[in-house]
Amino acid sequence: MLDSSMDSSDAAPDDAAGEQQLSRPAVPPASGGQGSLRSDWLQRAGGTSQRRWLLAAGIVLLVLAAGGAAALLLPGKRTVSDGADQGQQGTLPVADERDQTKVSVSGLSGRECADAQRRPIGVMLASDPINRPVSGFAAADMVFELPVLVSDVTRLLALYQCGRPDDIGSVRSARHDYLFLAEGEDAILAHWGGSYHALNRIAAGEFKTINALTNPYNAFFRKSNLPAPYNGFTTYENLWNALQKLGYRTETTLAGYSFQADPPPVERGPAGTLSIAWPGAFRVHYVYDPAINRYQRYWAGVKQVDGGLGGEPVAPSAVLIMQAANGPAEGPGGYNDVDIEGSGDLTVYQNGRVIQGRWEKNELYKNDPVHFLDESGQPIPLTAGQVWVMAVEPHIGVTWEPVSVASPLPAGATP
């Protein structure tokens, strides 16, 4: 067993890296205006002609002042005096009174959100029937789904960048395959323990993670309505707080994937069903709905919804099938090893269309992301929205079957 204090060396001073708050640019305060006329000026003016001249000058000043006030009421760029009448130069625009939020695009999903350059957080999530509906899937920007046994039970890695849910779980143990996937997407992995292959690498300092066994800054908690080990949960804000206080880098270095907008309805393919023949409770199929250009996900024939978002459907915009070998890992424990480094065949399902290509991940460079390439070796533009990636063994059946709009579900499926 590994020493439970193995993550303590990563701790940073308390609150050393609090979340930065965006603010509007500071604007210099307005000056005192044009200055008041000296009180003795009129006293020195004498004679009727002088008083008439003063009256005319006063009228001119009133007109100019009225014009200036009207200009302030008209739409357009407002300005504030910075003392130019006192020898200083220029005027500055008044800041827009709307909140100035930094909006950018996630490199994992193509979604727009505030602060999309945040470093992604990955969470190991269960697929066990006792945990369904699992919380946190609908909000994920990208999901990787792999078997954690040979040709059997799957486990999932949900990556969050723009999606920031307040209920994620159940959180499960890490496997070494997912460490390399998370590292390639520049994500900090959150997990509840792990296989000895994974924990040994983490303890050796190869990967930085947020481990529920040490529960830094109370990032994780257990729910009372489920038995252990199925009751471990977290939230995005808890994990983001822990990431900062552990001293981890907060801005991503991931260049991100290429994305495209939803095509017009006339350019989308017909409705259809994509089926992945994992055994029993872990078999998956997707029903493509061209009206919304999304792939509604089903688990063992049951429509998958999010357990923490009021039953929001889990419906990615693109489903990617990576062909990858899977065999027993060396050593005790009965763990497996999925070949998610190197290259292999790839099929992309998006917009009702099927695209053939290859996936690649440099096995000599753990920070290399998985690349999704067409048959000419160019990156495939993905439809913006949730991206769901499945590593499937070559002997597991994968079928795409166009169906009529009137009968979109395969036999035995629950709408």
pLDDT at position 201 is 96
Q: Beta strands of 324-381 (E only): which ranges? A: 326-328, 336-338, 342-350, 353-361, 371-374
Domains recognised in the chain with CATH numbers = 108-402 (3.50.90.10)
d(CA 201, CA 331): 15
pLDDT of residue 94: 35
3-state secondary structure of 147: strand
For residue 274, the model assigns a pLDDT of: 98
Q: What is the pLDDT of residues 219-247, one digit of tens each?
A: 999 999 999 999 999 999 999 999 999 99
At 168-187, the pLDDT tens digits run: 999 999 999 999 999 999 99
Give the pLDDT confidence of 18-60 residue by residue, as tens digits: 322 223 233 333 333 333 333 333 333 334 444 443 444 444 4
Task: Indicate the SS3 state at residue 179.
Answer: helix
Enumerate long-range contacts of 91-95, CB under 8 Å, 24 or more apart: 92/27, 92/28, 94/27, 95/24, 95/25, 95/27
Residue-wise pLDDT tens digits, 109-126: 999 999 999 999 999 999
Q: Which two tokens stand for residue 324?
A: 């990858």
More confident call, 77 vs 304? 304
User: Average of pLDDT values for 65-92?
Assistant: 36
Return the DSSP state at 8: G
- DSSP-derived pairing of the beta strands 302-303 and 318-323: unpaired
pLDDT of residue 410: 53
Q: How far is CA 202 from CA 169, 187, 233, 331, in A?
A: 22, 14, 21, 17
Tell me how far apart the alpha carbons of residues 18 and 240 are, in angstroms, rounded to a whole number. 10
Residue 333 confidence (pLDDT): 84
Greatest mean pLDDT among 5-9, 58-62, 289-293, 307-311 lies in 289-293
Q: What is the dihedral of CA 388, 392, 397, 401, to 10 degrees?
A: 20
Return the structure tokens found at 158: 């949900």
Selection from 216, 203, 191, 198 nearest residue 2 by Cα:
203
Per-residue model confidence (pLDDT) at position 403: 82
Taking the model in full, what pTM does it have? 0.75
DSSP state of 75: S
**Strand blocks (E) in 108-222:** 112-114, 121-125, 142-147, 154-160, 168-169, 188-191, 209-211, 220-222
Specify the DSSP element, H or E, that contains 56: helix 48-73
Q: Tell me the C-alpha distance between 322 and 392, whole Å.
A: 6
Q: How are beta strands 318-323 and 387-392 bridged, if at all?
A: parallel
